[in-house]
Amino acid sequence: MTPGASNATGVTELRHFDTLVSVETLVYSLDRDELLWSSTSRTTNPKDIENLVNEVADATAKEMVKQGLLAHQ
């Protein structure tokens, strides 16, 4: 049955679906051939994917600066 459709008894069935987005960031050193840093970000029902990407990139950069892996700009 499709969301919002009526069944045989006339009762409307409503369904809610969430969109879950997980972004994994991996930073490698090519010279040393090793993983330097990783993180995972999860969000539910993002309204704007471009905004989500920008927020994850900003949070990633701030955390990497905090940990001394990226120069402060």
Q: How far is CA 45 from the centre of its chain?
A: 10
Domain-wise residue ranges, the chain: 21-66
3-state helix, strand, coil in the chain (%, to 5): 25, 30, 45
Per-residue pLDDT tens for 14-47? Answer: 888 999 999 999 999 999 999 999 999 999 999 9
Is the pTM higher than 0.75? The answer reads no
pLDDT tens digits, 51-67: 999 999 999 999 999 99
Residues 6+ apart with CB under 8 A from 37: 25, 26, 27, 64, 67, 69
Question: CA of 62: how far to CAs of 23, 28, 65, in Å?
Answer: 16, 17, 5
